[in-house]
């Protein structure tokens, strides 16, 4: 499979994907999102992503 490119909106764009994912309390970094998505492209999506996404979701739930 080819290389995966990520397109992020500017960090200051409150309407953008960076703001929604990394700023609004989801508790994940840009690097974590890209790592999970790269893993999905290497393996079957349902097998590769589920445990990592559950772990990230657990961190979100534990955040104040």
Residue 53 lies inside a defined structural domain of this protein: yes
Q: What is the pLDDT, as a whole number, of residue 14? A: 93
Question: Of 33, 34, 15, 32, which Cα lies nearest the Cα of 24?
Answer: 15
Residue 18 lies inside a defined structural domain of this protein: no
Domain range for 46 = 29-62
Residue 7 lies inside a defined structural domain of this protein: no
Whether 48 has a pLDDT exceeding 90, the answer reads no
Return contacts of 41-46, CB within 8 angstroms, 24+ apart: 41/1, 41/4, 42/1
Q: What is the pLDDT, as a whole number, of residue 25? A: 72
Residue 37 lies inside a defined structural domain of this protein: yes
d(CA 24, CA 48): 26
d(CA 51, CA 28): 15
The segment with the largest mean pLDDT, out of 16-20, 40-44, 46-50, is 16-20
Residue 24 lies inside a defined structural domain of this protein: no
Residue 36 lies inside a defined structural domain of this protein: yes
Whether 50 has a pLDDT exceeding 70, the answer reads no
3-state secondary structure of 60: helix
Residue 13 lies inside a defined structural domain of this protein: no
Domain tally for the chain? 1
Residue 33 lies inside a defined structural domain of this protein: yes
What single-letter DSSP state applies at residue 11? T
């Amino acid at each position: 499979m080819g290389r995966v490119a990520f397109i992020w909106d500017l960090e200051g764009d409150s309407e953008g994907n960076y703001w929604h994912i990394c700023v609004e309390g989801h508790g994940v970094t840009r690097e974590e999102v890209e790592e999970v998505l790269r893993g999905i492209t290497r393996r079957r999506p349902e097998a590769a992503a589920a445990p990592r996404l559950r772990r990230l979701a657990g961190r979100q739930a534990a955040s104040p």
